[in-house]
Amino acid sequence: MAAVLTDNLPFSMFITSSNGTIHYSNEYLVQNLPIKELNSKHIHEVFSNWQELRGGKIIYASCQGTNCIFMKEKLPHSEDFVFVGTFSSELTSLVEELEQARRVNRELDAIIENSYDGIYITDRNGVTVKTNSAIERITGIPKEYYLGKNVNDLMKRGILQNSVTHRVLEKRRVVSLVQENYLGRETLLTGNPVLNEEGDIEGVVTNIRDLSELNELQSALHKANELNNTYKKEIERLKGKGARPKGVIIRSDSMKTIYDTAARVANVDATVLILGETGTGKEVLARFIYENSERSRKGDFIKINCGAIPPDLLESELFGYVGGAFTGANSKGKPGMFELANEGVLFLDEVGELPLHLQVKLLRVIQEREVQRIGGMKPIRLDVRLIAATNRNLKEMVSKGTFREDLYYRLNVVPISIPPLSERKDDILPLVNYYFDVMNTKYQKQKKVSSALNDFFYQYNWPGNVRELANLIERLVLVTEEDLLMVAHLPTEYRESKEAAFQVNGLMTLKEAAEMAEERVLQLAVTKYSNTYQIAEALDSSQPTIVRKLKKYNLKLKDA
């Protein structure tokens, strides 16, 4: 009778033993399952999917694509279990949604827990419902302490200064504020409202970021950048790649070596002795050393020409004097060049012209690092770096007794010899272009140089070196009316020297003369054009011929 009743029930039912073997199933269940013989079969033989939910009280099962929901109960006074369920698609959809919601909830919990920022979630009443472990690192208070507590209570206990939650509830929008937390660390709090389907706030999510760490990182980054810039400058200085001084064109290998050496010794206090003919740029090199040294930040560059001041006045100019030291002296006294150059650089130009008695005093200043004014009783301590220059042969002067040997070795610690312009041909035409640009700008002219004049500049011996070159160009720019400058525009003395040179060069074979002319034309071409195709077009020749000729005369393009 009981079986008849259960068979007529409008829902599925079956009974299993404690081990899961089915020993009874009603007719409704059998009709809705693809498998018709259920008795004596284990539930896993019938159902391919068997998920126990709510501690095993609800079962979500599948049999060959047919889904069903069962409720499980233990029969009284028996070890058997009864399963009562339905094949409703709505219920199965709800179960699937529930399972998906649980999975999403687990993922959200993992995201919240692993966030580096603190996350603090409250309901609409300000009661904490969830937080993460990061809040303990930021505030020093375990996350469990916050759960279930109202933000009002946390404010009363001094854990919070201001409530972002209250402001979000009041303004119904995102609110951010900066405040110090319980540990005195600066934090940024950003509260975001959570709205339900009706648009009402049902909770607030607050993000807490520790600004103290960000500030420390920013400060460390700033210091690292400053240190990095310092290292860059030092590397550039050590490589000798500091900025070249204005007016110095460096193309020849010899000048590159000289300025690289100068850059390397710029920040040491060793005395530098610059040797070279008049007009080669000794003072410019001395200024380059000063400007690339730390002394340029503290002291001045003081120059004195030892050959331009009478010996009677030179001593007072160098060492200074006290008031009333001699007739005509300033009553207040006067500091000397050494004192003016304190913490900077004193450039002694034409040091070979120093009288012997002043060489003795200069040696004492170098050795003792102190100076005594004329008529003074008290020495003055100084921190001065010396750079000396001369166009004379000091070693020969030492052998003749006109220059002190001990002073020579004191000055000759770092000797740098600048070659004359005639020995660095690679610098001549770049210098010509530079000075024409300078003079055209200075006098608002548009002067250009012909090829023949460029050839003269390149071939001329330049006994006055760079100074003579600059003076000649300035003279040509000022006194010549035509914009295109020719050899005929040169002063008479320069034209005569060119003719004399041509007569000397005339004593050669025709082949030699042709090769010399060919080489000169190519020399001018490589300074004007950037590739062999342009040269070939300008000289009405083929590109392979130009390549072969350049190799023959060992000439290189200006950009090579």
Residue with tokens 């993460």: 132
- Give pLDDT, residue 326: 65
pLDDT classification of 415: cutoffs 50, 70, 90: very high
More confident residue, 108 or 277: 277
Helix, strand or coil, per DSSP, at residue 419: coil
pLDDT value, residue 506: 46
pLDDT for 234 beyond 60: yes
Higher pLDDT, 53 or 481: 481
Residue 160 has pLDDT above 80, yes or no: no
Q: What residue ranges in 373-418 does DSSP mark as E strands?
A: 380-381, 385-390, 414-418
Q: Looking at 212-226, 345-359, 489-503, which range is the least confident one?
A: 489-503
- The Cα 68–Cα 60 span in angstroms is 6
Q: Look up residue 374 and give its DSSP letter.
A: B
pLDDT of 379 reads 86
Q: What pLDDT is stored for residue 503 in this prediction?
A: 44
Per-residue pLDDT for 185 more than 80? Answer: no
Residues 330-352: pLDDT tens digits? Answer: 667 788 888 898 999 999 999 98
Query: Tell me, what's the pLDDT at 272?
Result: 93
Question: For residue 511, which amino acid is it?
Answer: K
Average pLDDT over residues 517-522: 80
Please spell the DSSP secondary structure of 19-33, one letter per residue: TSBEEEE-HHHHHHS
DSSP 268-299: S---EEEEE-TTS-HHHHHHHHHHTSTHHHHS
